[in-house]
C-alpha cells in the first residue's frame, strides 16, 4: 500500500475527529432548536480547542505507535499522561484516572458505563486495522473495556471503529460506499455484543434523503438520542456520514443535530475524514485548530507515523 494514500486517509480521520470535536465543543449539550435559534447554522469554530474526545484519541495513536499490536496497558498509561481535566471528561472518567494514578492495573479501573467515550476516541483502531476485520474488532473491544464495560459502550466503539475501517478500505480500493450495505454490515457485526445498539444502527437505513444540512441535522435529532450514550450517539454520527455529501456536510449535520455535539462532530469527522481524505477538510477549520503542544501538527505527525508503519507492512 502506498504511504501517500494511507497518510491521506489516516490524517483525514484523525484531524477530522479533532475538527469536528472543536467545532461542536461550543454547543455541547444544546438542543437542535437552541443551536438553530442562536446560530441559524453553526459553521465556524470558536477558538479551535478540542476536548476529551481528541485527547483520548491521541492516547490511542501514541499507544499504537509504541506497540503496533495495541497494548491496553500502554493506552491506559497514555490516557493518564495526557489527561487535562479542563478539557471536559465524562463524569466517571475522573474516577478512572484517579484509579490509574493510584497504580491499579488497566483491567480494574473502568466502570460498567454505557457512555459514548469508548466510541468517541476509537478512530485510530479503525483506520490502523482497516485490513483485518477480526483484529479490528478485537482491539476495539480491548480499547473500550479500559473505561467502558457495559455492552452498549463496547458495541458503540466497535461500530465506530468498523465504520472508520470500512470507509478507509473502500477509499484505498477506490470504491464508493453503498450506504445501505455499509450500515447493515456494521449493524450485523455488533449484534452479538448489543442487539440494542445494532437495532438503533439499522434505523439509519430508513432515513430519507436530506435536501440540505439543516434538514439533515433535524432528521438526526428527531431519529436518534444524540446524547452521551453510545446507543444514542454512534448511530447519529454514522447517520451524518451517510446523509452528508462530503466531509463538511457530514460534520455540520452532526454538530447541528444538537445534544452531545462535540462527540457527534468528532465521530462523524473521523469517518468522513477517512473516506474523503485530509484534503476534504475545510481549510478554515484546519487553520483554526489549536496547534501548540499536542495540537494539529502533533496529531498530523502521529497519523503519518502510523501510515508509515502500515505502508512498510
Which member of 70, 114, 182, 276 binds ligand R7I (CB under 6 A)?
A: 114
Contact window for ligand R7I (CB under 6 A) among 246-254, 255-263, 270-278, 286-294: 255-263
Q: Which of residues 94-113 bind ligand R7I (CB under 6 A)?
A: 112-113
Binding residue for ligand R7I, selected from 41, 71, 88, 311, defined by CB under 6 A: 88
> Pick from 52, 55, 200, 227: which binds Mg ion (CB under 5 A)?
52
* Residue 198 near residue 188, CB atoms below 8 Å: yes
Residue 4, contacted partner among Mg ion, ligand R7I, none, CB below 5-8 A by kind: none
Q: Which three cell numbers stand for residue 279?
A: 484534503
Using the contact rule CB under 6 A, the part of the chain among 82-90, 163-171, 244-252, 291-299 near ligand R7I is 82-90
Which of residues 230 and 307 has its CB atom nearest to ligand R7I in the complex? Answer: 230
What residues between 254 and 283 interact with Mg ion by CB under 5 A?
260, 262-263
For ligand R7I, which stretch binds (CB under 6 A), given 45-53, 101-109, 202-210, 215-223?
Answer: 45-53
Cβ closest to ligand R7I, residue 4 vs residue 91: 91
Residues 146-157, buried b or exposed e (16+ Cβ, 10 A)? bbbbbbbbbbbb
**Cα four-point dihedral sign 6, 248, 35, 46:** positive
Closest Cα to residue 236, out of 251, 215, 221, 214?
Answer: 221
Work out whether the CA dihedral 79, 85, 88, 92 comes out positive or negative: positive
Tell me whether residue 51 or residue 256 sits nearer to Mg ion (CB atom).
51
Alpha carbons 247 and 256: distance in angstroms, whole number = 14
User: Which C-beta is closer to ligand R7I: that of 7 or that of 229?
Assistant: 229
Smallest separation, CB 228 to Mg ion (Å): 7
- The Cα 149–Cα 158 span in angstroms is 13
Which residue bears the cell 451524518?
Answer: 240
Please select the residue that binds ligand R7I; options are 7, 10, 14, 53, rule is CB under 6 A. Answer: 53
Q: Which residues bind Mg ion (CB under 5 A)?
A: 51-53, 260, 262-263
Amino acid at each position: 500500500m502506498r504511504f501517500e494514500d494511507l497518510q491521506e486517509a489516516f490524517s483525514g480521520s484523525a484531524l477530522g475527529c479533532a475538527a469536528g470535536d472543536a467545532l461542536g465543543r461550543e454547543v455541547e449539550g444544546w438542543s437542535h432548536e437552541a443551536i438553530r435559534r442562536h446560530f441559524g447554522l453553526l459553521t465556524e469554530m470558536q477558538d479551535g480547542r478540542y476536548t476529551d474526545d481528541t485527547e483520548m484519541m491521541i492516547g490511542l495513536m501514541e499507544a499504537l505507535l509504541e506497540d503496533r499490536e495495541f497494548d491496553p496497558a500502554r493506552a491506559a498509561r497514555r490516557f493518564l499522561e495526557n489527561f487535562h481535566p479542563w478539557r471536559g471528561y465524562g463524569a466517571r472518567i475522573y474516577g478512572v484516572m484517579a484509579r490509574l494514578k493510584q497504580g491499579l492495573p488497566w483491567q480494574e479501573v473502568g466502570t460498567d458505563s454505557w457512555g459514548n467515550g469508548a466510541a468517541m476516541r476509537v478512530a485510530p483502531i479503525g483506520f490502523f486495522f482497516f485490513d483485518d476485520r477480526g483484529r479490528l474488532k478485537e482491539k476495539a473491544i480491548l480499547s473500550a473495556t479500559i473505561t467502558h464495560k457495559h455492552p452498549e459502550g463496547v458495541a458503540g466503539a466497535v461500530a465506530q471503529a468498523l465504520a472508520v475501517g470500512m470507509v478507509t478500505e473502500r477509499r484505498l480500493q477506490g470504491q464508493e460506499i453503498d450506504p445501505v450495505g455499509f450500515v447493515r454490515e456494521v449493524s450485523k457485526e455488533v449484534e452479538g455484543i448489543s442487539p440494542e445498539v445494532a437495532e438503533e444502527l439499522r434505523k439509519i437505513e430508513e432515513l430519507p434523503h436530506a435536501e440540505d444540512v439543516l434538514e439533515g441535522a433535524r432528521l438526526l435529532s428527531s431519529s436518534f438520542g444524540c446524547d452521551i450514550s453510545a446507543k444514542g450517539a454512534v448511530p447519529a454520527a454514522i447517520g451524518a456520514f451517510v446523509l452528508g455529501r462530503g466531509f463538511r456536510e457530514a460534520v455540520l449535520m452532526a454538530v447541528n443535530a444538537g445534544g452531545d455535539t462535540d462527540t457527534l462532530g468528532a465521530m462523524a469527522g473521523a469517518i468522513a475524514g477517512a473516506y474523503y481524505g485530509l484534503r476534504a477538510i475545510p481549510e478554515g477549520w484546519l487553520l483554526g485548530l489549536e496547534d501548540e503542544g499536542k495540537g494539529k501538527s502533533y496529531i498530523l505527525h502521529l497519523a503519518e507515523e502510523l501510515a508509515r508503519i502500515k505502508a512498510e507492512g
